């Protein structure tokens, strides 16, 4: 039986989502931790996620699929046992049966990412979960984020070595808003290139600081020139939702 699993995780505890060579219990990926948890209850299967998240990147609603053996039909019990093994850094929110043709990655239509900033007095306990910045003009940040909306070739907004997938992507919505001292930049797109969001956010912060001009963002978007390749830290990035 194939099941769809929705989960959240604290990315600061992992070396990314995808299984890496020579993983250990103290240096593991999210998929590696899930694979070990499944093996602990005699389930040998491949964990397939909706997408990869890099080292330090969090998820509030990551989606994956696995194939279960026939003897595991009690999904509520399965969820309870897995959560007991995966605590405290991973939490499975729900497990639902799906058609055998369902694919967590290829069937995904849209993905929502959020990047969290904090412009208040320094808070050490936020160091793994938000990027500390000086006070920002969120209205300007929201306006500049609109540059990325639409269908574009984002070749100049990806980390080198990002694979051989196409560079064309559609961003349906983008913007920024404030909640007290937290500022959230968001992007809803069909898919994203390696480190694309962190690079776009880095360029937006430079534009808000006056280091870049609005037209510089457009020039890099249109692949006329590279004005910024800065990757801001992974700590503030969250895979927030996957739409099917």
Q: What is the pLDDT of residue 23?
A: 86
Closest CA to 190 of 99, 101, 105, 102: 105
Three-class SS state of 44? coil
CATH 3.30.70.660 domain range(s) in the chain: 110-243
- pLDDT tens digits, residue range 194-209? 999 999 999 999 999 9
Q: What is the pLDDT of residue 163?
A: 59
What is the arithmetic mean of pLDDT over 183-203? 97
Task: Give the count of alpha carbons within 13 A of 33, CB side only.
Answer: 27
- pLDDT tens digits, residue range 51-85? 999 999 999 999 999 999 999 999 999 999 999 99
Contact 188, 170 (CB under 8 A): no
Confidence of residue 98 (pLDDT cuts 50, 70, 90): very high
The DSSP annotation for 133-195 comes to -----HHHHHHHHGGG-EEEE-GGGS-TT--SS--EEEEEEEEEEEETTEEEEEEEES---TT
Confidence of residue 221 (pLDDT cuts 50, 70, 90): very high
User: Is residue 161 scored above 80 in pLDDT?
Assistant: no
Q: What is the pLDDT of residue 162?
A: 53
Pairing of strands 150-153, 168-179: antiparallel
For the record, the structure tokens of 236 come out as 């503030």
Share of the chain above pLDDT 70, in %: 98
CATH 3.30.70.580 domain range(s) in the chain: 2-97
141 CB-near residues (< 8 Å, 6+ apart): 176, 183, 185, 204, 205, 208
What is the arithmetic mean of pLDDT over 134-147? 96
Annotated catalytic residue: which of 54, 74, 107, 190?
54
Q: What is the pLDDT of residue 72?
A: 92
User: Is residue 42 scored above 60 in pLDDT?
Assistant: yes
213 CB-near residues (< 8 Å, 6+ apart): 207
Known binding-site positions: 113
**For residues 189 and 228, what is the distance between their CA atoms, to the nearest angstrom?**
21
209 is catalytic: no
What is the reported pTM?
0.95
**For residues 41 and 210, what is the distance between their CA atoms, to the nearest angstrom?**
55
Known binding-site positions for substrate: 113
Q: What is the pLDDT of residue 21?
A: 87
Q: Which CATH topology does 2-97 take?
A: Alpha-Beta Plaits (3.30.70)
Q: What is the pLDDT of residue 125?
A: 96
Q: What is the pLDDT of residue 24?
A: 84
Q: What is the pLDDT of residue 213?
A: 96
What is the arithmetic mean of pLDDT over 86-102? 98
The CA radius of gyration of the chain, in Å to the nearest whole number, is: 19
**For residues 63 and 94, what is the distance between their CA atoms, to the nearest angstrom?**
10
Q: What is the pLDDT of residue 26?
A: 82
215: how many CB neighbours lie within 10 A of its CB?
12
In this predicted structure, which of 3-7, 19-23, 52-56, 222-226 has the lowest mean pLDDT?
A: 19-23
Options 3.60.20.10, 3.30.70.660, 3.90.1300.10, 3.40.50.1000; CATH of 110-243: 3.30.70.660
User: Is residue 92 scored above 70 in pLDDT?
Assistant: yes
For the record, the structure tokens of 101 come out as 């043709």
- How far is the CA of 35 from the CAs of 41, 104, 114, in angstroms? 10, 16, 27
Pairing of strands 90-97, 182-189: unpaired
Contact 57, 239 (CB under 8 A): yes
In this predicted structure, which of 58-72, 90-104, 136-150, 163-177 has the lowest mean pLDDT?
A: 163-177
Share of the chain above pLDDT 90, in %: 94
């Amino acid at each position: 039986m194939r099941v769809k699993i929705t989960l959240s995780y604290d990315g600061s505890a992992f070396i990314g989502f995808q299984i890496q060579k020579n993983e250990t219990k103290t240096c593991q990926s999210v998929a590696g931790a899930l694979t070990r948890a499944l093996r602990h209850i005699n389930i040998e299967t491949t964990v397939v996620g909706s997408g990869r998240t890099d080292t330090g990147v969090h998820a509030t609603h990551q989606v994956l699929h696995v194939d279960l053996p026939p003897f595991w039909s009690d999904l509520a019990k399965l969820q309870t046992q897995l959560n007991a093994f995966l605590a405290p850094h991973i939490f499975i929110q729900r497990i639902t049966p799906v058609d055998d043709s369902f694919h967590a990655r290829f069937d995904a239509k849209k993905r929502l990412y959020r990047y969290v900033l904090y412009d208040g007095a320094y808070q050490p306990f936020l160091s793994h979960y938000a990027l500390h910045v000086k006070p920002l003009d969120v209205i300007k940040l929201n306006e500049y984020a609109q540059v990325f909306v639409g269908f574009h070739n984002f070749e100049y907004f990806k980390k080198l070595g990002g694979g051989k997938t196409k560079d064309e992507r559609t961003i349906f919505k983008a913007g920024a808003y404030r909640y007290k001292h937290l500022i959230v930049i968001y992007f809803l797109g069909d898919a994203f290139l390696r480190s694309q969001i962190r690079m776009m956010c880095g360029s937006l912060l430079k534009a808000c600081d006056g280091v870049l001009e609005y037209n510089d963002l457009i020039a890099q978007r249109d692949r006329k020139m590279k004005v910024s390749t800065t990757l801001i830290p992974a700590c503030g990035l969250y895979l927030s939702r996957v739409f099917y």
